[in-house]
Each structure stands twice: as C-alpha cells, then as structure tokens.
Structure 1
Amino acid sequence: MCQNERVKDADKCIHCHVCQENCSFLKKYGLDIGDTEKLNKLAYHCFLCGKCSEVCPVGIDGQGIIMDMRRASVASDEGARVNKEYKRTISEKKEYSYRNYRHVTEKSVLFPGCNFPSVYPKTTKVLVELFEKEAGIGVVYDCCGKPIADIGMEDEEERIMQGIQKRMDDAGVTEVITMCPNCYAFLKPRLTIRVVNIYQKLKELHLGEKCLPGGTMFRPCPDREKGEWLTDIEAFSDAEFQTLEDIQCCGLGGQGCAKEPEIAKSFAETVKKYPQTIYTYCGSCAGNLTRNGCKQVRHVLPEILGTKEKPDTIKSLINRMRTKYL
C-alpha cells in the first residue's frame, strides 16, 4: 500500500478507541490512529510495535501510517532535526561500523545481526563454530538496516539493502540464516535470496537439544502476527508455551524509548510482576528487559545450544565492536 493510500486508510477510523486501549503511547495522549494531524507531531514517540494494526477492527495499518509520517519528516525541512536527534544511531548503522564479511561462504550464511552478538557473545561463538564444523556454513556480521528504516530514512534504507544484496550475490550466497526476528521480518521481503530463521535451520541440520521445558513466552513484535519463529522453537520442547499477551513491547521498538522512556520502562515493570522464568527469542528483548531489572528473562537459543548464557548488558557495545575483528 502506498503512502497516499495509507493516509486515506486513516480516514476509515471509527474512533472506537480499541487501539488507544491497547497502546500505552496512544493512551498517554488520548489519541486514536485516525487522529493523524496530532499524531504527525508525535510520530517519533511511537514504538512501531504494530499493536494498533493488530487490534484495529477496520483494518487500518497504524504502523504504516506512522512510518509514512517519519519518512515525510526526513524528506521535509524537519530532516536536519531528525538527523541531529538520531545522530548516534545514524553514525553507527548508516554504514554499519562493525561490518565483517571475511567469513562469508557460498550458499548458506549465518546473519547474527547487531544485537544478539552484543548481548550473547559466547552463544554466538558456539553457534558460528557449530555451523562451520557441521555444515560448512560461514557468518557475516552486518546490520539489516531496520534501525535506519525506523528513523524514516527511506533512501538510505534502499541503499543499505542494495549493498547487502550485492555482497551476498558476489559471494554466491543463496540462503541467509537470521538469528533476530527483526532481521528476518525486514530482510525476507527485500532480498531475492532465501531467508530463514535460526530454529528452522537447526531443525533442518538436526542440531540443538530438545531441552526447553515450555512455560511462559514473551513474543517479539515482528513475530506476533504469524508466530513462525515460535512454531519452529516448539520443536525443541516437549511442552507448550503460554504467551504473554498483556505486554505491548520490550521498550526498544521503533526508537520510541528515546521520546517515551517512562512508557518503555513500564513494559519491563509489567514483566517483573511475573515470578516464573520468561523465555523470549529476541536478543534485543532479552537484553533490554534484563537491563531494566527483569532477571527472570531467558533467551531460548542459549538453552538449546547448552551455553546457558545470560545477556551481557554491561559490555554490549564492546561485544558488538569485537565482531568487526572476528
């Protein structure tokens, strides 16, 4: 759907307030997704979690509308302000500072993304060595481009994607194995090569332990609609997972935490109320929730690979920097 169509789509809003009731950001400002004039001024306060799109009874793509607003801001006189406010993210991600293609291989390649190697360096190392030994699969360290896309830098998003595609094509890569649900959701519709998730590939290669006890699962935003990753993860458990439905986001989504730190913190506060172990399958979610005091959060991949690693929230930046030299 093009931008003009999405703007018209917002006119279908019946102001039933369902989106407002399910989104802490919209609730704070007393807005519905159809209040586009007021939302335009608050576009960077949104967490881009897609909850409004998920619950809208008339099918409005609220997440898409917010993204269109951000892209319009970047393309307008507001572009300089946006560049200044997100300078740190842009400086690292626009031309990813820690890119490393030295271990790329033909056919299949592991794509850990930015955040998983930052908070789970030991598990990343174990997986890289396992894939190389058992299947001759290499690894590339790169950013998928989503952080830049979330800011609204559409031209840069396209340039980044073309660069990834070319580097993969030049190396003869025909399959990218993602470890991050955000990377998967972002790359799959944009690359011309096969994109799979890590749990699907572990099943194909008969690797990993069937050791998960089931329990409570915090689903990352990009997998909430289809549940593809969760379905593949269930192959590593003899019991079912019950998913948390009352928590909107981990707090990192869509750069929203920069504008709404209290809302972001409230998500973690809700998770803290659960006494049991909370599993997730997103490095960003696990790292951010742990950083905000949710000590019971566990990522499923270290369990499946037997490292039992907890997220390193202290040296995450250093860990990410090291991937450039691995």
Structure 2
Amino acid sequence: MPVSKLLRQELQHTADECIDCGKCMALCRFLAESGSPVSLAMRGLSSDKDADTLAIRSYDCSVCGLCSAVCPVAATPERMFKEFRNHAQANGLFKLQRYSPLLKYERLGRHFPFKGESIPASCKTVFFPGCTLPAMHPEATTMTYKILKRLDPKLGLVFNCCSKPSKMLGLNDKYEEQLSSLVQRLERKGVGRILTACPNCYMTFKEFNTKLEIVSVYQALKSSGFAPVIPAIKEVTVHDPCVTRYETEMHKHVRTLIKSTGVRVIEMKHSRTKTLCCGEGGATQFNNKGYAKNWSRKRIGEARRTGVPIVTYCAGCVNFLGGKYPTIHVLDLLTVKRKNIPKPATFPFNYLNRLILRFSIR
C-alpha cells in the first residue's frame, strides 16, 4: 500500500539522522533482531511492499522510546514505528483479534456500569483515575480522591477510558473520535482542568489537541502539603513508566513524595529518561510474548541488584511486574497503611474492584 505523507516523513527523518551506532540495538531485542533504525527506514523507503512488511513487524516493538532516549543524534525511531502501526491499520494490513481482551477492556471503561461521573455545580477540576488504578488499587484511589476533595470541595470525579489502547495499536480515527467526545463533554460542563493518576492517561490527554489543563496528581499532591502515611518499607527503587520518559518534573514529584515519608530511594541503572519498559509497552505481549518477557526480565534484574522493592506510578506496570517481584504503586505507598506489599489483583477481582469503587465513592 502507498505510504502516507506522515510515515514517509518519519522514514526519511530516521534515514537522514540515524548514524547506525548500535546503542539502541544493544538495549532492545526487537531492534537487535530486526535491524538498525536506519536500515529499517531505508527498507521502508525502498518499496511500498517493504513498508507494509515493516508495518506488520512494528507490533513486536514496545514503542517505549528507549531507542530515541539513548540516541546520540536526533533520530527518533519510535515515532517511525508508531506511524508504521497507523499505516497498518489504515490499510487493513494487520488484524487485531489477539488484542481483543485489551480493546474489550477499553470498551468497557467507556460504557455503563464502569463509566460514570460526578461533576458538581461550579466544578472546574476533575479527578480522572483511569481504568487500571481503580481495578488494581481501589483503596489508594479512594484515599487519593478524598485528599484531593479536601483541598477542592468542588472537585469532580470521572470514571472513563482515555482510549490509549486504540491510539497505541494504530486505530487513530477511533481514538480521536472517542477522546474528542469525552473532552468536549467536560468542556461543556465548564471543566478546565483534569488531574490524572495514570501516566498513560496523562500523556494521552496531553498529546491531544485540547484547551483543558492536564495536571499529574503527583504534582497536585506535592503542592498540597498533605501528610502521607509512614510506610513499613524503608527503602525502594523507582520504576519510571516508559510513557513518562521525558516528564522530568513528574520524576521529581514522585521521588519527593516518596522521600517525604522517610523512605530512601535507591536508583536503578536505567531510570527517568533512560528507564526500561516493564514489558507491557505497546501491548507487545499479545503479539510477541518473548519480547515482552525480555523487557520484564531486564527491569526486574536491575531491581534485584538494588535489593529493595519497586515503587512505580503506573498501575499497569505494577500488574506486569508485581507477580514476579515486590512492586507497589506510589499512591498505595503514600495513602494506605500496610505491613506487606500486596499481590496485584487478578480477574475477576479487578473488575469487581472497579464496579464497587464506581458506585461507592462520592
């Protein structure tokens, strides 16, 4: 299929900028086995047939952005792989049946009984906890909302899905239609600010063309002066979700909040801008479990070398890492008094947690 103007631009940019130094390939199994970014870009430019083949292959990529983060020049390969996915879906090159559990999860989040909102009169700010945080950490979600509500009695609450899965899989039209509908409804109700707890929601809203102010709940909590609980844990290492790779202020806010509890932070070799994917990125596990598990092993391997539990601020990362290594969500650490780190909630309890929270929290 003829490539789009956007894909051709990204292919040309990578072909022009990548110097084939191998730094990204040394860290990424996908690139090590597929080829350097410049070689892939040149293939995509050489023929539409090769571009189609690479578009299908892009579903093995975690689109985590580490390739761009370690690049010594101006190449941004992950943008090329995202456009490959858009090309695949726009031209019907790659079927998404194996992703049906993820797309169903998204669809449920946008419909009753999982969807719901409470927006008081004169409400200007809403708390948007996302899909996975309420499912995995209902107590922390409730406590965080109560803290924010004390700071702003007119705070609203919105249970919905940001449609990140559709965006990530290349279903651009679907994602834009769904998120546009949500944003427009909030704007009509007079909302001007969204507090997000999920980093994927934060980035999805932030990258969307909206006048709404998108603020991380970690920034809000850092500025609030609230008193966190004193955890039983005394030392942790922080896993920065790959979607927040360039959100340096969020990295600082999370660490400041952790340290405010008296907990010491021991950094892993790869963190902040050069963080590793937990394995969930790009939903690669649905198409290539080996690549996803490889990322997970790398991340857990670095955590083990610190000798302390992982704290992260993505419920999806907790879900992906927590079954193999002690991992806690930062909001759970800050707001819920615990003696031990709980195991991630599994089906059907994660769905039940969402429903209970949806109808109990006010």
Task: Report the TM-score, using the length of structure 2 for normalisation.
Answer: 0.80
What corresponds to 2:327 in structure 1? 297
Alignment of 1:175-254 (within 5 A): 175-190=193-208, 191-209=210-228, 211=230, 213=234, 215-236=236-257, 237=259, 239-245=264-270, 248-254=276-282
Matched, 1:19 2:44: no
Matched, 1:3 2:7: yes
Secondary structure at 1:298's aligned position in 2? strand
Quote the Cα distance in structure 2 between the aligned partners of 1:32 and 1:282: 30
CA RMSD in angstroms, aligned pairs only: 2.5
CA contact (8 A) 1:118 1:312 kept: no
Question: Which string of whole-angstrom CA distances, capped at 9 and with x for unpartnered residues, describes residues 243-279 of structure 1?
Answer: 4418621111111111221222233334444131222
Secondary structure at 1:140's aligned position in 2? strand
What corresponds to 1:276 in structure 2? 308
Unaligned runs of 5+ in 1: none
CA contact (8 A) 1:119 1:311 kept: no
Secondary structure at 2:195's aligned position in 1? strand
Q: 1:110 to 1:217 in 2, by over 3 A?
A: same
CA contact (8 A) 2:14 2:37 kept: yes
CA contact (8 A) 2:68 2:77 kept: yes
- Percentage identity across paired residues of the two chains: 24
Quote the Cα distance in structure 2 between the aligned partners of 1:74 and 1:151: 8
Q: 1:210 to 1:62 in 2, by over 3 A?
A: farther
114-123 or 232-241: bigger deviation: 232-241
Quote the Cα distance in structure 2 between the aligned partners of 1:119 and 1:100: 17
Secondary structure at 1:82's aligned position in 2? coil
What corresponds to 2:353 in structure 1? 319
Alignment of 1:33-112 (within 5 A): 33-34=37-38, 35-36=40-41, 37=44, 39-78=54-93, 81-94=94-107, 96-97=110-111, 99-105=114-120, 106-112=123-129
What corresponds to 2:47 in structure 1? none
What corresponds to 1:286 in structure 2? 318
| Number of equivalent positions | 321
CA contact (8 A) 1:120 1:310 kept: no
Question: Which string of whole-angstrom CA distances, capped at 9 and with x for unpartnered residues, describes residues 13-54 of structure 1?
Answer: 332222211212212x14112214464331111111101111
CA contact (8 A) 1:217 1:242 kept: yes
Question: Which string of whole-angstrom CA distances, capped at 9 and with x for unpartnered residues, describes residues 205-242 of structure 1?
Answer: 32242757564211110222232212112332155552
CA contact (8 A) 1:23 1:248 kept: no
Unaligned runs of 5+ in 2: 45-52
Quote the Cα distance in structure 2 between the aligned partners of 1:232 and 1:305: 16
Matched, 1:142 2:155: no
Secondary structure at 2:64's aligned position in 1? coil
Amino acid at match of 1:299: H
What corresponds to 1:132 in structure 2? 149
Task: Report the TM-score, using the length of structure 1 for normalisation.
Answer: 0.89
